[in-house]
């Protein structure tokens, strides 16, 4: 029995739920319409920076996940991991994922292997949901809410074009926006930075949230703490709701000081991987909002632990799995299972989000996304749509 993501197998009985065996894991690189990242070494449409994972089982259930890295690296990682996952019980996502992490950390924890394990972990939770007939969010702890507000993530541009881009997505129904990267902070021109923010703020309107992402994880980011402090003051004057990635991603001491002085909340953490790496950032108070990326941090298993750790420290969690429809589906499920998570990131205009599932995400009249209620991640991959972005879609889904 071959199943698309989110489909429920009728042949799985309660008696068989003690064990479902992993038989194979496949990957599918996505390329052809890769959205730009605003990076100094810009992504090209033909680059593979995102990939999908399919975990096959002897029960005919297939779970799907998403990985934020080059598809060629994912394929290599699966070869390395194969002796560890083959024959494992697909109904035990946390144990199996931790087994993969523990037995490969010396090969480079936090790199390609961690990214690939993230996609496997998401797919295992998808399998557990399908096998039990429950959405992943219930398995992760319950459903605190039925819908979540997405913020439309857009690249910064020159002020006039920035305003036009935001208006287009506002007309599509979004009521929260993040703008970042592009020219912001990269031209040593504070007037330009402020003009972009002013144009964005005017375009979103008084009833919508606006977040600003400097994108300081870009290669050779030129600015430091003093720039970030001045910029935070400027953002505060324009009533921006948070300041993201304002400093180089390893500048822990500077982040602590920035959060202490900034008039706007400080967000970050998307480049950190594994739950352990978040401990000093949370214990030292470097963030008001922490943003682990489920498609590289270690999957839903680590994402959930980071989110609850942040909650206990009074730090808000907002997921960063924006890169594909499966990443957003995972973020939606976890957002529903946490008491105070009311936002998810949604990249504007990405084919890998909007055009690979049978029923694309739809905003309601108030700009919210419903959390899927089908078993597993709750979304179903469309084979014909996926075939546009990966060379062997039929083999991947078979």
Question: How confident is the model over 341-363, as pLDDT tens digits?
Answer: 999 999 998 999 999 999 999 99
The pair phi, psi for residue 381, each rounded to 5°, is -70, 135
**pLDDT tens track for 237-285:** 999 999 999 999 999 999 999 999 999 999 999 999 999 999 999 999 9
Q: CATH says 138-383 is which class?
A: alpha beta
Band of pLDDT at residue 12, cut at 50, 70 and 90: low
Distance CA 100, CA 363 (A): 37
DSSP E strands, the chain = 22-30, 50-57, 62-67, 147-155, 176-180, 209-213, 242-244, 266-268, 289-290, 316-317, 343-347, 369-370
Please give the average per-residue pLDDT across 57-72, as a whole number: 96
Band of pLDDT at residue 13, cut at 50, 70 and 90: low
pLDDT score of 322 more than 90: no
Distance CA 76, CA 163 (A): 42
**pTM summary value:** 0.94
Domain with CATH 3.30.390.10 in the chain: 14-134+387-397
Check: CB of residue 300 under 8 Å from CB of residue 275.
no
Secondary structure (3-state) at 73:
helix
- How does the average pLDDT of the chain come out, rounded? 93
**pLDDT tens track for 283-302:** 999 999 999 999 999 999 99
Burial of 168 (0-12, 13-18, 19+ CB in 10 A): middle
CA 299 to chain centre: 10
pLDDT score of 42 more than 80: no
Domain with CATH 3.20.20.120 in the chain: 138-383
Band of pLDDT at residue 15, cut at 50, 70 and 90: very low
pLDDT score of 230 more than 60: yes
Half-sphere exposure of 390 (CA within 13 A, CB side): 28
The residue with greater pLDDT, 9 or 101, is: 101
CA distances from 233 to 199, 221, 224, 242, 245 (A): 17, 20, 15, 12, 15
> What pLDDT, on the 0 to 100 scale, is given for residue 110?
84
pLDDT score of 35 more than 80: no
> What pLDDT, on the 0 to 100 scale, is given for residue 44?
77
> What pLDDT, on the 0 to 100 scale, is given for residue 36?
67
- Nearest C-alpha neighbor of 336 from the set 101, 142, 57, 106: 142
pLDDT score of 43 more than 60: yes
Asked which of 2-6, 132-136, 228-232, 267-271 is least confident by mean pLDDT, the reply is 2-6
**Topology of the domain covering 14-134+387-397:** Enolase-like; domain 1 (3.30.390)
């Amino acid at each position: 029995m071959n199943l698309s993501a989110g489909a429920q197998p009728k042949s799985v009985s309660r008696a068989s739920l003690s064990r479902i065996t992993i038989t194979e894991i496949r990957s599918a690189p996505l390329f052809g319409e890769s959205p730009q990242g605003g990076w100094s070494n810009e992504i090209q449409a033909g680059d593979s920076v995102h990939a999908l994972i399919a975990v096959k089982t002897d029960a005919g259930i297939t779970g799907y996940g998403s990985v934020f890295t080059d598809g060629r690296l994912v394929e290599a990682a699966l070869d390395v991991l194969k002796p560890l996952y083959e024959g494992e019980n697909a109904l035990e996502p946390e144990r199996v994922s931790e087994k993969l992490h523990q037995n490969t950390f010396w090969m480079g924890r936090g790199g390609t292997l961690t990214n690939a394990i993230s996609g496997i972990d998401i797919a295992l939770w998808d399998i557990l949901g399908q096998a039990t007939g429950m959405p992943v969010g219930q398995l992760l702890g319950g459903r605190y809410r039925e819908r979540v507000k997405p913020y439309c993530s857009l690249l910064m541009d020159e002020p006039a074009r920035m305003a036009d881009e935001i208006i287009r997505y506002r007309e599509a129904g979004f009521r929260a926006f993040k703008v970042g990267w592009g020219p912001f902070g990269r031209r040593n021109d504070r007037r330009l930075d402020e003009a972009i923010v002013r144009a964005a703020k005017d375009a979103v309107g008084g009833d919508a949230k606006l977040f600003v992402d400097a994108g300081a994880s870009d290669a050779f980011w030129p600015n430091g703490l003093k720039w970030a402090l001045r910029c935070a003051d400027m953002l505060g004057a324009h009533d921006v709701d948070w300041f993201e990635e304002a400093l180089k991603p390893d500048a822990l001491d500077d982040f602590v000081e920035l959060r202490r002085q900034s008039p706007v909340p400080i967000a970050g953490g998307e480049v950190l991987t594994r739950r352990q790496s978040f401990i000093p950032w949370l214990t030292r108070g470097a963030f008001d909002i922490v943003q682990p990326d489920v498609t590289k941090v270690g999957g839903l298993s680590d994402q959930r632990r980071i989110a609850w750790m942040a909650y206990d420290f009074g730090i808000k969690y907002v997921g960063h799995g924006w890169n594909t429809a499966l990443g957003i589906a995972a973020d939606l499920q976890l957002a529903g299972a946490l008491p105070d998570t009311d936002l998810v990131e949604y990249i504007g205009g990405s084919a890998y989000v909007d055009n690979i599932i049978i029923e694309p995400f739809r905003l309601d009249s108030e700009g919210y996304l419903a959390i899927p209620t089908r078993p597993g991640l709750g979304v179903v991959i469309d084979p014909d749509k996926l075939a546009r972005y990966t060379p062997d879609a039929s083999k991947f889904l078979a």
